[in-house]
Structure 1
């Protein structure tokens, strides 16, 4: 089976990572964010990511790509306009980047495509965007299915709900992968990483991996990267210290609520459950035991990026790259299912 795919709006490459693990070869990837492209190219089998505006891919260029016999197109058009956290403005220009995605699918005509986005896309404008995606791709000959998936159901230690649209040709009906019969807790994901309570960056492991998830993340990686502490004020650390494992600032007396007036309350991870959705900073979400926010590496673990996946750019940029990515293990579950269906068909 031909296994070449394109990753549009690739970011640092979470989707690509999962599809590569399933046996696909990313022939080309594109994103406008330079830091994410640098991270992508230093962590994938081939440095195929380009830092370009998708509008620059004209018909002549797409004709050249088409010669590669691309079997699939994957990607997550920027989702800020769809997010239930954001303004949900139907006219947000970022809402229409899926039209560029559609243009490229129409020109390349792959066997399948995958679009990932926040679940708010389904309800924005009374479902108009969802309906338009289904209608546009159906007219191109794709059988389109969609489903909201929680990453925690596929071996990722994080409750992260995202909608996936999968389109397949030849009247093939894609069936989303079955949920796993286990879930990974934040403790299972992070407990082997060295403490940052002393405020010092750590580059070596102090303890052996103690469970299959940690072993999967570490493999034979000897050096620990992106595990830097964040400096908090004594007042902030004092408040965090009063919050129990899995608790929030709302558990404390009202005098503490007024100190930091966030819509989202200060919360501590629950060591016995999955993490909240990893966002682009996790500024109000703290380690289950230590009085600090997670490091970039810890967030990457919660996203199921292996430890040999190194993030580049400023620390702020690294947090954003991790938070915007598709968890590789979730991507792998979808990619594996697609590959099996394509193999069965051939």
Structure 2
């Protein structure tokens, strides 16, 4: 442990949503590795002294490079979300997609650093696709290294996140203990809603806003107070200029509706499942994706800004995104909600502290 804080490496870190949650839970992030430069710029800015490493996790030399960059410090936890395109229900479901085996780089990292625990995150479909072969292989590989594995799909609204999102987590503890997942802190009758999350963020009536701006209204919910706690400035809240035709179509979608609620002949260019979806103010948002063309504000006739999507993902307002706007949307959509990372990190700390206490007792 570094400075009495458990240490973390974040593999496939992206902008670092999962490890941001661990920072908030009292961990020290040593390093994040990814092959997206703009995401790494975001990671570096928001993760203190952590090293942001640009690397290809297909390469066998990468693990040694990671160790060198952190001066071979002890690593307590390795977290990561290998790309899920091969398993995602919206992807190709190609059983032989090389990205399906990227978890092997996490196996190699765990084998090298021998952390007390690891967390592997992916889409829920990973547990059942190809008759569960991928899930069984993950469990088998890490069990071979001496880890007791437990896995569970977590539902984001249960943990105070204003977004309908499910993610599968594998947690492995070194030794014989089994990790128990954190219990929900919310129920359907008190989920954080879209309005709770973003109603304080101004509309764009006279201009599209600026990358750095001031709040124009006070917080209107406890969630908004929490999001604004560490900043007096608003980042990444920039609007999108739509054509008059697109604005007209959006205006005809009722709150909580989608393309199925449009009159015949309207919005014909987009008729897939998520097309022309307007959020509902009193419910969590739909799952934030990597694009920004299909979901719309619950009352304004536009797509949400990067900051609004970040709020719905539980990124606090002091977390600043870099790259062009398309890259920022992608970073937000690809991320694990920091609040999920926070609750997992808090729960995992119980096991890490117990492990440290036993080690100290044995030393004495």
TM-score, normalised via structure 1 length: 0.96
Matched, 1:123 2:125: no
Q: Quote how far apart the aligned CAs of 1:211 are.
A: 1.6
Aligned to 2:340: 330
Q: Select the residue among 234, 239, 262 that pairs with 1:252.
A: 262
**Structure 2: 5+ residue stretches without partners:** 358-364
Q: C-alpha distance in 1, partners of 2:195/2:130?
A: 40
Post-superposition shift, 1:87? Answer: 0.6
1:296 is matched with which residue?
Answer: 306
Q: Where does 1:1-346 land on structure 2 (aligned, <5 Å)?
A: 3-54=6-57, 55=59, 57=61, 60-61=64-65, 64=68, 67-181=72-186, 182-202=190-210, 203-345=213-355, 346=357
How has the CA–CA distance of structure 1 residues 197 and 87 changed in structure 2, closer, same or farther, with 3 Å as cutoff? farther
Shift of 1:199: 4.0
Separation in structure 1 between the aligned mates of residue 120 and residue 297 of structure 2, nearest angstrom: 32
Contact 2:235 2:317 in 1 (8 A): yes
**Contact 2:274/2:295, CA 8 A, preserved across alignment:** no
Aligned residue for 1:255, secondary structure, equals: coil
Q: CA deviation at 1:59?
A: 6.2
Secondary structure at 2:168's aligned position in 1?
A: strand
CA contact (8 A) 2:202 2:216 kept: yes
Q: Using the alignment, how far apart are the partners of 1:29 and 1:47 within structure 2?
A: 7
* Inter-partner Cα distance in structure 1 for 2:184 and 2:262: 36
User: Aligned-residue CA RMSD in angstroms?
Assistant: 1.7
Query: Which sits farther off after the overlay, 252-261 or 115-124?
Result: 252-261
Q: Is the 8 A contact 2:249 2:267 kept in 1?
A: no
Distance 2:206 2:296 in 1: 16
Q: Note the C-alpha offset of 1:118.
A: 1.0
**Which stretches of structure 1, 4 residues or more, deviate above 3 A after TM superposition?**
56-67
Aligned partners of 2:240 and 2:305 also within 8 Å: yes
Q: Distance in 1 between matches of 2:216 and 2:63?
A: 53
Q: CA contact under 8 A between 1:176 and 1:337: conserved in structure 2?
A: yes
User: Residues of 2 paired with 1:97 and 1:183: CA distance?
Assistant: 34
Structure 1 residue 197 displacement after superposition: 4.0
Conserved? CA contact 1:250–1:257, under 8 Å: no
Q: Structure 2-normalised TM-score?
A: 0.91
3-state SS of the aligned residue for 1:70?
Answer: coil
